[in-house]
A and B are shown apart, each in its own frame.
Chain A
Amino acid sequence: MKQRLVVIGNGMAGMRTVEELLLSAPDHYEITVFGAEPYGNYNRIMLSAVLCGEKAIEDIVINDRQWYQDRNITLHAGADKAVCRIERGLRKVIAKDGTVADYDRLLIATGSQPVVADLPGKDLAGVIGFRDIMDVNTMLNYSHSHQHAVVLGGGLLGLEAANGLLQRGMNVTVIHNNPVLLNRQMDKQAGQMLQAELERRGLKFKMAAQTKALLGDKNGHIQTVRFEDGSELACDLLVMAIGVRPNITLAKQAGLYCERGIVVNDTLQSYDPCVYAVGECIQHRGATFGLVAPIFEQAKVCANHLSAHGVAEYVTLPTATKLKVTGIQLFSVGDFLGDTQSSEIRFIDAVQGVYKKLVIKNNTICGAVLYGDTGDGVWYQQLMEQAKNIADIRESLIFGQQFAITSAQTT
């Protein structure tokens, strides 16, 4: 008889693991998937493309319901199918509507939740996150009927939301508590160039701003954002994009060991040997995750163990960042700020909007920021991952692979 695998979370991490598993051990498990959203599996990172109208929802679906049927995967999708309890002793999970599934192995892929700023007025109508198709739909609705959008948080997600709302015709202001946009991914120079470009496109910014309160109208709908300095901003829609935190409510309830996320080992196994976890809900060697590349790597390793091959180990590699705003090329990887032991190679062509910085330590790349011309990002990342000695091509390194290779040939 086949073993039973239950997957909680129909998102990118969980379903990539299932796909990997189907490849490596197609007949090993009878698979049941629970998802809180009423769709098949879709590409969450393309939501901003849907928001700005470059893609339709159909375009971003990875696996529709038919796909699950074809593979004999039981899919329980929808709000009422959200899992509300895990009975580890009985090895079963129970959904809101009472649906029960037994498991031999459980995979938790519950993802993350937007962080909600602890501000007065955070529960007002018109204050939302940017996480799923529903949020996108909310934003689209507001864009038809309202004027002033405020995005709290100048990180990747916030800027994508802001850009989308701008495309949809809203008057958008981004509030960021740091003087530098994308300060987790970009240095000051790149952040400033990005800000200038986005301002040129019509976005407004309130930088290094401390938000004090969200004020509502008499109907309990957001109307104004108030800052510590006393200034105010009209607001019909406020999108919180100040970060995500692992969604570990279920795991905690089930008594699985969690810190910030569900703590897993190098095989993505939790403290319960029958329970695995992948994606934004986990904590591996102290790190949590938000970008897709390491999560896909986790899926691969996890599937390897679920299929009982049992040889892979997950290692977190530096991950490159890209901003999905059309016409803006931006790339960052590794330790792009450097320290006293490192040196920097910088190139800037302000008028062309190109900025590149490589952080070098012991003749290897340990970080890169590229803005405006990211063509060589992948190459730098490779050099970094392979810890290639760049001494011979140092002089032309920042000009990209084409120049570095020709110069290496001529010298």
Chain B
Amino acid sequence: MNDSIKTTCPYCGVGCGIEATPDRLQHHVLIRGDQTHPANFGRLCSKGLALGETVELKGRLLQPKLFGQPTSWTDALDTVADRFRQIIDQHGPDAVAIYGSGQLLTEDYYVANKLMKGFIGSANIDTNSRLCMSSSVAGHKRAFGSDTVPGCYQDLEMADMIVLIGSNAAWCHPVSFQRIRAAKISNPGLKIVVIDPRKTPSCDIADLHLPLASGSDAWLFNGLLHFLHQQHLLDDDYIQNHTEGFAAALYSAGNANLQNVAQHCQLQPADLRLFYDWFGSHNKVMSLYSQGINQSSSGTDKVNSIINCHLATGRIGKPGMGPFSLTGQPNAMGGREVGGLAHQLAAHMDFSNPADIERVARFWNTSNIASRSGLPAVELFDAIDAGQVKAVWIMGTNPVVSLPNADKVKQALGKCSFVVVSDCMEYTDTTAFAHVLLPALGWSEKDGTVTNSERRISRQRALFAASGDAKPDWWIVSQVAQRLGFAEAFAYQSPVDIFREHAALSGFENDTEHGLRDFDISAYQNITAKEYQNLQPTQWPVNTQYPQGRIRLFEDGQYFTPSAKAQLIAITPRLPFNKPDDNYPFILNTGRLRDQWHTMTRTALAAKLNQHKPEAYVDIHPQDAARYGLAAKTLALLESRWGKMLARVQLNDEVQPGNLFVPMHWTAQFASLGRMGALVNPVLDPISRQPESKHTPVSIKPYPASWYGFALSRRELAFKDLDYWLVSKGDRYYRYELASEALPVNLQDWLQAKLADQEQPADWLEYQDTAVGSYRAACIVDSCLDSVIFIANSPTLPDRHWLASLFDKGELDTQTRKALLTGRAPQGKADVGNIVCACFNVGEKTIRAEILKQNLKTVKEVGDCLKAGTNCGSCLAEIKGFFS
């Protein structure tokens, strides 16, 4: 019997608890939701459930590499330390930088931050959380004097109204979304409003969807403040006793009357009025917001425009209400706690207060502490490009894909004199630029803590021993720190050593005398190794006053500002920085898919997660598509002033005319030209320095493919010489989508050479139609399907599902062999269609057939029959669509 281990999911900020049962002999792990974890109570989404498929060692970086050659840890670490030391000595500490990740554990993050800010003496450490959360951080700081999420997930069940703003929680935070769905079912009176330019799957449970103009959110919430004031729905006592800045905020919102707002947001006044009325009449309102708010050149203002409405109605710090930032990453919060952003110092202290700097220097016992903010992400890579930063250490993130103007990041890393990358995966767009590659532990090996959106610290525990030579990030950083001469300050032996220090710092001089800070987990400063091992998920603060943690902050109306009052911020709405013009007439929006995580380094390992959306696509309104000559399933070339991308055209009236949407995940590992980051404008919020990833003017035109095709193979094939290729892993096969402007001289020979397996005798089936440029071939090995390729001069090719299903079958029977190159199941053979429910692998055709056959009437009945939608539930909207 293998014992189960409680750990947490490494994906989104919901921070679900997992009960994992590892089989160490087979290096397999069985994944179940942790019934006792307060974030999910046993639920998991499709990504979390598929974690077992991502622990394989294929593609893992298992040995240090120096200039591409395997090397020892000693040599690798010596080289990193030597080069950093040389550059610091020659050019000063600001010539080096660390770029971290919201997926580092708190302990790893703490050590990296401490090294950079406390001992190297530069604040040039920033993180991918800059791309995700920094507007929330800045908004919180302005309003509360601290980066505090006041509420908690329980509030979802207590609310009378939930507003989702710039959040497709159904796909991005599926388990929280399921909680909201469940709350709506048990309390049908619960009003749900979705504010999003797109009609996302989250609209499935919405009573009202406001498809506002991209980036116009601050108008909407200024309008709300204005309206509530006009209707005398504000809490004057709360404003009076617990806030400042109300008059100025209201004055700024003075022009935000209903007509004006409707015009700026391009909404129907009646819809707007309905939302405002509902907000006014429901006391327990939660405003959940995410990247649609944060990733904006006015993201901080948008955050404050939302918080303003909660402060002015006193709806904060009490059950069922409050602004709530849905964090993107599993440990974005932990990163913020340690000070992982370049303008933060540590433990929710920052550079704006000299006393904080002095305090942290004392705590760390260093004389070399940085005294001012460092370079935030986009500017950090600009500085690398400009040659000001000469060495960068990237940890667990993929900026060549995820940063805006990503081709410039590529260029910058290409020029940078010293690039260190620590990662668990060997081949990423970023590791390609590394002079030194350091193998880090992956999820399932790491040991430490993470903090989720509701301030809950949970343990992430190791399920397996380290693979190969991989090491914990904290160890790697400490080793370099020791070599740089800081042995004493980095003598950590285990994560708990670091956690204790982190906890101690959070409580260090954290009192009324020195100034109170929200983040305080000093109760843990003497935690034993055993207690740490058994640490239960707990919401900070955890200190003498709140030894069991604290569910909500600000119940007492006391804030962490000098006056202890919350600040309303006067907001002058600013629309996105770059406007569409004749050359770039469309607004490009970007975002997550349901079944992929960030740059796919791990989720793409799980065949079942590649089924939902196997290919990078662009959503375009059918009217626009017609106008620009873009047919469904063809390829489109998107271009901005910064870069380009090829994507499959998907007609979708859920995006507004003039808007486009592309998923954010594809990288050069998986597609020839699928990095959306290359398109995105490097425009920053002036306060949070977060890029405006949700709004870039782009052009779109048909890609002039002379042929389209796809290949499925048990083996990895080489198509990298084609203009368009995209690979995804399936169950026992790889899927390649292909297209090109030019036809090879001899297509047949070229393709057979591509597919041929030198080691196996070829048994080929071929189909050719000269008139339509159609060529199909299948390669059979030992009577089983080995590879299949379909080419045509148009994108209308057979569905891939039936062919893909054959890789899981053994020998092909005669009927199947005959049908192979039709691409369709012979009569009587099941073709399940697009996988809708990734948890139970139920396809669209199966569901539709069952609905007809059993005369099913509801999504629940579908679940009863097929189990589809009964686990994570993130496909329920799609299933519901089958009834219309």
Contact = CB atoms under 8 A, between A and B. Distances in A.
Contacts of B765: 347-350
B813 interface: no
Given A399-B822, A403-B822, A407-B822, A350 B763 contact: yes
B766 A403 contact: no
A347 B821 contact: yes
Contacts, number: 63
B579 interface: no
A343 B824 contact: no
A345 B769 CA distance: 4
A85 interface: no
Contacts of A400: 818
A36 to B, nearest CB: 48
B821 A399 contact: yes
B772 interface: yes
B585 interface: no
Contacts of B557: none
Interface string B846-880: 00000000000000000000000000000000000
A335 interface: no
Contacts of B883: none
Nearest to B780: A351
B826 A403 contact: yes
A407 B802 CA distance: 14
Interface string B741-766: 00000000000000000000001111
Nearest to B827: A406
B378 to A, nearest CB: 49
A352 B817 contact: yes
A395 B791 CA distance: 12
B763 A396 contact: no
B768 interface: yes
A344 B770 contact: yes
B218 to A, nearest CB: 49
B238 interface: no
Interface residues of A, number: 23
A349 B817 contact: yes
A402 interface: yes
A346 interface: yes
B718 interface: no
Contacts of A402: 826-827
Nearest to B764: A350
Nearest to A357: B768
A394 B772 contact: yes
A390 B850 CA distance: 33
A232 B118 CA distance: 97
B770 A343 contact: yes
B819 interface: yes
Contacts of B772: 394
A394 B774 CA distance: 11
Nearest to B775: A346
Contacts of A21: none
Contacts of A235: none
A403 B798 CA distance: 13
A51 interface: no
A400 B771 CA distance: 19
A375 B799 CA distance: 26
Nearest to A351: B763
A305 B74 CA distance: 105
A237 interface: no
B771 A346 contact: no
Interface string B661-682: 0000000000000000000000
A344 B824 CA distance: 22
Given A399-B818, A403-B822, A403-B824, A344 B764 contact: no
Give the one of B763, B769, B772, B824 with max A CB within 10 A: B769
Nearest to A356: B767
B819 A403 contact: yes
Interface in B801-849: 817-819, 821-822, 824, 826-827
Contacts of B780: 351
B720 to A, nearest CB: 29
Nearest to B766: A348
A360 B827 contact: no
A152 interface: no
Contact of A343 (B767, B771, B818, B826): B771
B669 to A, nearest CB: 33
A398 interface: yes
A406 B819 CA distance: 12
A350 B752 CA distance: 14
Interface string A270-298: 00000000000000000000000000000
Interface string A389-411: 00000111011101100110010
Nearest to B783: A351
Interface string B768-787: 11111010000010000000
B843 to A, nearest CB: 16
Contact of A345 (B764, B768, B818, B826): B768
Interface string B511-529: 0000000000000000000
11 contacts: A345-B767, A347-B767, A348-B767, A360-B771, A395-B769, A395-B822, A398-B767, A403-B819, A403-B822, A403-B824, A407-B822
Given A399-B821, A399-B822, 18 more contacts: A344-B768, A344-B769, A344-B770, A346-B766, A347-B765, A347-B766, A347-B768, A348-B765, A349-B766, A350-B763, A350-B764, A350-B765, A351-B780, A395-B822, A398-B767, A403-B822, A403-B824, A407-B822
Sorted nearest first, the 8 A-B pairs with minimum C-beta distance are A343-B771, A351-B763, A346-B768, A349-B765, A345-B769, A343-B770, A348-B766, A399-B822
